[in-house]
Chains A and B, each alone.
Chain A
Amino acid sequence: MNEYRGENPVSAMKTRGSIPEGRQRETAESVQLVSFCLGQEEYGIEITKVQEIILLGDITRVPQTPDYIKGLINLRNMVIPIVDLRLRFGLPQEPPTDETRIMVVNVHGKTIGIIVDAVSEVLRIGKDQISPPPPTVVGLGREYLTGLVQLDHRLLILLDIDHLLTEEETTNLDVMDVLV
């Protein structure tokens, strides 16, 4: 089995995704976000949801799963599923680049990795900076948006990661019922 490249659990936190312990606290007025890129858009999720950011490693594919489930990886002896957020949002699949990362998030007691095009930075924004998603936004992940943040020259889409991955859970459960 030595022909396989070992999965690399080494945290890639040396990049901009570095999250010092002390800053994880969020105050009432402000919230800390991890922002990442997906296609042309930039998204943000609450830092408290993010466990770590790792490099894309060897993923073991799993049958009987929707296409956006890329498979399983071994994260320090824990087997976690990997969701390709591009496919989840219906974006075309792209070959991984040097920037591609797996964000390991904790959702409802489960640990799940999501593949994103790049992790950009950790930023703190005031809650008043968040505006509700305009009703005109339709399509991809519309229902998983919690708000928009207007930064200097870019727009950050806040993602309801719980909702996103739980939805996926339930849909899969339906599928499972059919199968079993």
Chain B
Amino acid sequence: MSNSDAAGYDSFYQSLLGDFLGESEQLLVALNKHLLRLDEWVRSPSGQRQPSGAENLLSEMSHSIHSLMRLSNMLGLDEIEHFAEPIEAIFETARKNLPTLTGNAVELLFEAIDRLANLIDALKDSDVPAVEHASVTERMLQWLESAGVRQTPSDHADTERTLDRIESQVADVLDRMAPAPDTPTSASRPDISSSPKITDSDEGRDLCRTPPGAEPSVIARSGNDATSDTTEAPSGVAQPANDGADDCFADLIDEADMSSRFISIFIDETELALDQLTENLLNLEAGGAHDELKLLLVISHRIKGSAAAVGLNRAARLSHLMEDLLQDVVNVGKRLSADVTDAMLKCVDELRQYVEGLKQGTIPPDHFRELAAGLLQARQGTRATGPGSSEAQATRPAASPKDHPAARSMFEEPPAAAGPETTSQPAVPPAKEVSLIPVSEQLREKVIATAPIGLPVYAGVATFQPDLPLVSLKAELLYEKLSNLGDVSYFDPPPERFDTIEKLQCVQFGLATERPEQEITRTMKTSGVIGMVLEPLFYGPGDDARTSSDRGPAAASTASQGTASSKAVPPAASTPACSRDASPRPPSAKPTDASRPAGRAASKPTETLRVDIDRLDQLMNLAGQLVVSKARFTQISDRLRTIFGNKRSVLTLNNVLASLASIASFEDEVAGGQKLEAELGAICAQARRIQNQLEPMQREVEAFYQMHASVNELEEAVHQLERVADDIQKNVMDTRMVPIGPLFTRFHRVIRDITRASNKSIRLEIHGEKTELDKRMIDELGDPLIHMVRNSADHGIETPDQRVRAGKPAEGTITLDACHRGNNILIQITDDGKGLDPNHILAKALEQDLISSAEAERMTNSQIYQLIWKPGFSTAQKVTDFSGRGVGMDIVRSRVEALNGTVELDSTPKQGTTITIKLPLTLAILPSLMVDVGGDVFAMPMESVAEIVSVRSDEVATVHGTRATQVRGRVISIVHFDEVFQWNTNNSRPADRANDDLTLVIVGEGDEEIGLAVDRVIGEEDVVIKSMADNYKHVPGIAGASVLGDGRVSLILDLAAVIAMSARAASGATVPQMTPV
């Protein structure tokens, strides 16, 4: 599939791509790490270096790059795959021939890996221009040629690739030729002569569609796969355990000590994959497109990969079988039959249960074995009805079977003149040193001679990797595995000679077993075995060996189903080997359940979930809103409390009522003159009326005040809300935190490049790599950090000579340090170099017209240092590849400030320079000081606020025409907002000025401090940053906007810009006027 085809995969493809990016990133990190070590190795004096060290590194890297290739192949990323090919070839060549590994080669590799990283990066962003890599490829090929390997594809990986490509092309052809889904099965009788041999194709699928030329590739891959799968496994999964327990499930044991972290990743990935599998299966059953089959294949592969990576070998095996089955279906170009779907769905269910079990922290007992049988059956069904003969023949390239005699010459026995193997002769490229050794006539005879009665007999040859260490152990291992499968009637070399063997090309064996051949081939798949050829002979001695040539896969499958042979023949004379080997199966045949730790009481793994970072952003935003609403609630409840704060009116009302009551009672008490009495009566009646009217009012007021209790409740609820909101905010923030370590480790490479280019000797020290930062922040920090580290290395650290002369160790040190400080993250880049030279900077600044000479005279050292942040400033005597173009530091600063951070520089001549970056913990929420200026509410990032002072008006003096005041000995110039900002709208709100005293918020650092005059300080608040540029544009001096608790918008000040603008305003340069539109 090409890239454009892959587009059809839509979102699923995207998610695969996401996986690929994640995985490839890790692989690249590993590659770089190993390459750095290899570099050290190459540069170390040849006397001291251990060849094994480099070999290990190279093989590690080879595996990494191979995994990368496989992944890119799976996704159809041809460009990356092809680019990676020569890299792998170089690794392989260098591993075999260490002397070819020179500094230049390593340099080339570095470059190649960089390009590879670029290529992969380009996937993330389609806007990135195409990465030029042809030149590097060219150079790599040249290197390979000069190393003399290009033309001799002895390197099996090389062949494998070539063949892989053929294979994939054939697959494409097949896809295109694929008959209509419901081709009558009669038309697809297996072509008998096409696959007379059961080869140990790792993915046995290739049997049906691979042209002869491709067979070895598959075979070769089997060995490779086994190794790479194990080495891919993190935390050093014990390889022997993997090898030793490879009997198809029988004694396949999951790794006992898996890290729960990896398991949780597995659980997470697999659950998703299983869901997708189910969905796709059902889609397909309902008549989905052929493409979905490929998806299924990819998903199965993914499950296999992640299971193998964490050491869940049993699950990996099952998914491998699933993959095989699917591959067959794909090859056959047929629809998914109901059998296959059923078998697959059962597996999915079982895997799901298995995963559920894992979640509980146990490795559950599984039924993979039974399922495997179902899968194999389904697979045979598929194959039997599989490739139409016409199809198989049509796609078979007309390669002459005798093209490659080399393969034969490897074989000890002369090849049979005719026979099945001639047609299936692997089309190995001519000079191939390593090839699979076919089953010879002699072997066949020997096997026939020794075979027991009544069982299907197989003759097989397993070929080892050339120069495989401990080959005898491998042979023994194979022997044991075979014994578990059935009766090993013949085994060469004989087991008693295992101890004395040092070099071994292959083992030949005869096996009588009822197990299907797939099982045998799978069992034999072991690291170190590059492949094997297995040939089903017949049911026992006496059968005509030649007849086997008439059997296609169909025949083989009948045999493997263990149909009792009617041609049971009396046992032949047993060889010594046979008499021993024909002994009954060792009791260890089914040690599975016993040896597997049942219900491991390991710690329960944490479940993880992959989340789109945009969603997290959104969540963060919402959490921020919650915090804002919380603030609003707090305000409301505060206000209510003051309203309900006292009960005076109730008391007053009571008093009034009492007075009225006493007035009303006058009438009774006072008896006197008629007139007076009448008047008094009227008054009293009036009073009574008032009293009556007041009474309901009193009740209402009392009821009103009873709400006081409710207010208290509200207050409590608000408190609760506050806590929850804070927790949510904190937790959401935590989810976005990632350690800074990986970012830091990138600098090993940077430093290395510089040391190589500049003859300096620099050591990089890293501290605090566990410090966690917001993911986005880490992404943004990369570039500025690289600038600064390069600057330190390039301009800071002196040459060894100079250093020694200055009394410093020849090796310079650059330290990267990260730590938490309250609500901030501090990142420090320290070097022990020559420090900044103020005079030099000054001279440069004058030269570059950044300052006037008058200014220069007044400047303090610390002020001078700040000049390096000016755009266009560079002190480098010469521009190097790494720095010195004068575009670095101001960009560093603006980048850091864009993250609401600050950057400071401190330098001591001759002792070094320290750059400190101070960043808020997160991007979305900004602790700010809220101030009221003429009715406008502004948020000032607390980060930049130094202090708040109140000065009396008589403390303000005028310096150079600007107003200033003294704060504890420092002269602070006073800046009013109106001097900095131009408003086009009159303020609608009145200033809320407390008194005549000036309230100054002192912002900035060192000599750039200014005192911003504000009318009122409202208090500290966490504000949620809203970008103004989203809907409008960037406004100088304004970092963004935020929504206040009351729903109003307030502006967040960009204090660094405000300081710069105020300086400009003070220096007489008028802030440019708006051009009227």
Q: Is A24's beta carbon under 8 Å from chain B? A: no
Min CB distance B1015 to A, Å, is 13
Q: Is B693's beta carbon under 8 Å from chain A? A: no
**A77 adjacent to B1046 (CB under 8 Å):** no
Residues in A whose Cβ lies below 8 Å from that of B41? none
| Nearest A residue (CB) for B1050 | A60
Q: Is B1031's beta carbon under 8 Å from chain A? A: yes
Q: Is A73's beta carbon under 8 Å from chain B? A: yes
Q: Is B936's beta carbon under 8 Å from chain A? A: yes
**A65 adjacent to B1074 (CB under 8 Å):** yes
A52-83 interface bits toward B, Cβ cutoff 8 Å, 1 = contact, 0 = none: 00000010111111111111111001111100
**A1 adjacent to B1032 (CB under 8 Å):** no
Q: Is B44's beta carbon under 8 Å from chain A? A: no
A2 to B992, CA, bound (A): 13
A153 to B226, CA, bound (A): 85
**B1074 adjacent to A175 (CB under 8 Å):** yes
The binding surface of chain B is classed by DSSP as loop
- Tell whether A69 pairs with B984 under 8 Å between CB atoms, given A60-B1041, A110-B1031: yes
| Nearest A residue (CB) for B1042 | A79
Q: Is A99's beta carbon under 8 Å from chain B? A: no
**B1049 adjacent to A60 (CB under 8 Å):** yes
A2 to B1033, CA, bound (A): 29
**A61 adjacent to B983 (CB under 8 Å):** yes
Residues in B whose Cβ lies below 8 Å from that of A63? 980-983, 1035, 1037-1038
A146 to B1072, CA, bound (A): 34
**A179 adjacent to B1077 (CB under 8 Å):** no
Q: Is A26's beta carbon under 8 Å from chain B? A: no
Min CB distance A19 to B, Å, is 21
A3-45 interface bits toward B, Cβ cutoff 8 Å, 1 = contact, 0 = none: 1101101000000000000000000000000000000000000
Q: Is A168's beta carbon under 8 Å from chain B? A: yes
B1041-1077 interface bits toward A, Cβ cutoff 8 Å, 1 = contact, 0 = none: 1111111111100000000000000000001101111
Residues in B whose Cβ lies below 8 Å from that of A4? 989, 1046, 1048
Our pick among B1035, B1048, B1071 for the contact of A58 (Cβ within 8 Å) is B1048
**B982 adjacent to A64 (CB under 8 Å):** yes
A88 to B1026, CA, bound (A): 25
A127 to B488, CA, bound (A): 89
Residues in A whose Cβ lies below 8 Å from that of B1077? 66, 68, 88, 168, 171
A143-177 interface bits toward B, Cβ cutoff 8 Å, 1 = contact, 0 = none: 00000000000000000000000001101111110
Our pick among A60, A73, A173 for the contact of B1033 (Cβ within 8 Å) is A173
Q: Is B841's beta carbon under 8 Å from chain A? A: no
Among B981, B1018, B1049, the one with the most A-chain Cβ atoms within 10 Å of its Cβ is B1049
- B-facing residues in A64-122 (Cβ within 8 Å): 64-74, 77-81, 88, 110-112
**B1018 adjacent to A71 (CB under 8 Å):** no
- Tell whether A79 pairs with B1075 under 8 Å between CB atoms, given A64-B1037, A67-B984, A176-B1034: no
Residues in B whose Cβ lies below 8 Å from that of A173? 1033
Our pick among B937, B981, B1018, B1047 for the contact of A6 (Cβ within 8 Å) is B1047
**A64 adjacent to B1035 (CB under 8 Å):** yes
Min CB distance B500 to A, Å, is 77
- A-facing residues in B624-650 (Cβ within 8 Å): 625, 635, 639
Q: Is B1028's beta carbon under 8 Å from chain A? A: yes
B930-956 interface bits toward A, Cβ cutoff 8 Å, 1 = contact, 0 = none: 000000110000000000000000000
Q: Is A178's beta carbon under 8 Å from chain B? A: yes
Residues in A whose Cβ lies below 8 Å from that of B1072? 175, 178-179
Our pick among B984, B1018, B1030 for the contact of A65 (Cβ within 8 Å) is B984
Residues in A whose Cβ lies below 8 Å from that of B1050? 60
A7 to B1076, CA, bound (A): 29
Min CB distance A18 to B, Å, is 24
- Tell whether A74 pairs with B1043 under 8 Å between CB atoms, given A79-B1028, A175-B1074: yes
Min CB distance A58 to B, Å, is 6
Min CB distance B975 to A, Å, is 14
Q: Is A138's beta carbon under 8 Å from chain B? A: no
Interface size class of A (residues with CB under 8 A): 35 or more
Min CB distance A77 to B, Å, is 6
Q: Is B985's beta carbon under 8 Å from chain A? A: yes
Q: Is A137's beta carbon under 8 Å from chain B? A: no
Residues in B whose Cβ lies below 8 Å from that of A112? 1031-1032
Our pick among A67, A74, A169, A172 for the contact of B1047 (Cβ within 8 Å) is A74
- Tell whether A70 pairs with B985 under 8 Å between CB atoms, given A79-B1041, A172-B1033, A176-B1033: yes
A60 to B321, CA, bound (A): 65
**B1051 adjacent to A62 (CB under 8 Å):** yes
Residues in B whose Cβ lies below 8 Å from that of A7? 1047-1049
Our pick among A1, A62, A68 for the contact of B1035 (Cβ within 8 Å) is A62
Q: Is B1036's beta carbon under 8 Å from chain A? A: yes
Q: Is B987's beta carbon under 8 Å from chain A? A: yes
- Tell whether A74 pairs with B1049 under 8 Å between CB atoms, given A63-B981, A174-B1075: yes
**A79 adjacent to B983 (CB under 8 Å):** no
Residues in A whose Cβ lies below 8 Å from that of B639? 2
**A176 adjacent to B1047 (CB under 8 Å):** no
Residues in B whose Cβ lies below 8 Å from that of A73? 1049
**B989 adjacent to A171 (CB under 8 Å):** no
**B1051 adjacent to A64 (CB under 8 Å):** no
Min CB distance B220 to A, Å, is 53
A7 to B1041, CA, bound (A): 15
| Nearest A residue (CB) for B1061 | A179
**B1035 adjacent to A6 (CB under 8 Å):** no
A171 to B1026, CA, bound (A): 23
**A65 adjacent to B1051 (CB under 8 Å):** no
Residues in A whose Cβ lies below 8 Å from that of B937? 1
A62 to B1017, CA, bound (A): 20
Min CB distance B1019 to A, Å, is 10
Residues in A whose Cβ lies below 8 Å from that of B1047? 6-7, 9, 74
A88 to B1076, CA, bound (A): 10
Min CB distance B346 to A, Å, is 47
Residues in B whose Cβ lies below 8 Å from that of A3? 989, 992
A168 to B1077, CA, bound (A): 8
| Nearest B residue (CB) for A70 | B985
A180 to B890, CA, bound (A): 13
Min CB distance B1036 to A, Å, is 5
A21 to B247, CA, bound (A): 65
- A-facing residues in B51-74 (Cβ within 8 Å): none
A178 to B985, CA, bound (A): 21
B449-490 interface bits toward A, Cβ cutoff 8 Å, 1 = contact, 0 = none: 000000000000000000000000000000000000000000
12 A-B residue contacts at CB 8 Å? A1-B1046, A61-B984, A64-B1071, A65-B1074, A72-B1051, A78-B1026, A79-B1026, A79-B1043, A80-B1031, A176-B1035, A178-B1072, A179-B1036
Known: A77-B1043, A79-B1026, A110-B1031. 11 other contacts (CB 8 A): A1-B937, A1-B1018, A6-B1046, A7-B1047, A64-B982, A64-B1036, A66-B984, A73-B1049, A74-B1048, A171-B1077, A173-B1033
For the complex of A and B, list the 4 residue pairs with the smallest distance between their C-beta atoms, beginning with the closest.
A63-B981, A67-B984, A81-B1032, A60-B1049
